[in-house]
Amino acid sequence: MWFYNGAKVVVDGCRLRDTLADGINLCVGCREFLVQNCAARGTGDDCFAIWPTASDQGYTEQTPLPGLNVIRHCTGQLPFLANGGAIYGGNSNCIEGCLFQDISQGCGILLSTTFPTSDDHLKIDNNFSGTTVVRDCDLIRCGGFDPGWGWRAAFQLCLHRRSISGLEISTVNIQDSLSDGFGVVAPGSAHGEGTLSNARLENVDIPNSGIATTGRHGLAIREDSKGSLTLKNSQIVDTQNNSADFRIIN
């Protein structure tokens, strides 16, 4: 299911199996969509994705402006590429009450600026804004090897083309991650982007990590990352901060 330009659409109780690409993607001008009680297994790309691209395949208008979308009470399993749940930008989107498990090619949850969300000519900028929320989720055996990126964390923040601000991540359980449990990477820092700000983890439980590869950590900050991350009431097996430009605030 791939959506362009709509508001207040509800997708409820659907099963998606063995697709060639995404299970569900809320693309271009999607606002106040609700995807709930759905299960995706064996997808060829993200099980569930929110990608507010500025334009695609001739769609240059965005009515309404994208944001305030919710993916809740959904399950994603065994994609043969990419991630369980992914948000690539937009205003105040949310993933809540979801289960992502057995994801060996990517993250259980990915918040990323890898894909373009702006167009200077059209004066459109759909990068992360407002408060992006992830809460009440379980990530079991996620964080696998992505052929284009190497090992992904079970929950990863990827600051690629742009910086990210305004994240509230709470009550997330990350167990038996194949690689790192929670990771921050910022390839965008090479061209002046890639700063994380106003981001908080609260009641996040990561009891172990790295069941498929060695030298991994519960919380891992890569050397290219910039900015800060606040931790509150979280139990994380261990932390590795390899960046002199990144601060973890307890």
SS3 letters for 53-70? CCCECCECCCCCCCECCE
Q: Which among 31, 16, 26, 21 is positioned nearest to 75, based on CA atoms?
A: 16
CB 88, CB 104: distance < 8 Å:
no
The domains of the chain are located at 2-249
138-179 pLDDT tens trace: 999 999 999 889 999 999 999 998 999 999 999 999 999 999
**How many other CB atoms sit within 10 Å of the CB of residue 199?**
20
Amino acid at position 94, single letter? C
**Per-residue pLDDT band at 196 (split at 50, 70, 90):** very high
Structure confidence at residue 114 (pLDDT): 95
- 61 pLDDT higher than 90: no
Q: How confident is the model at residue 56 (pLDDT cuts 50, 70, 90)?
A: low
Mean pLDDT in residue range 64-78? 95
CB atoms within 10 A of CB 225: 27
Query: What would the pLDDT profile of 15-27 be if each residue is shown by its tens digit?
Result: 999 999 999 999 9
Q: Is the pTM of this model over 0.95?
A: yes
Could you tell me if 212 and 232 are in contact, meaning their C-beta atoms sit under 8 angstroms apart? no
- For residues 227 and 218, what is the distance between their CA atoms, to the nearest angstrom? 19
pLDDT at 60: 62
CA 236-50-14 angle, to 5 degrees, is: 95
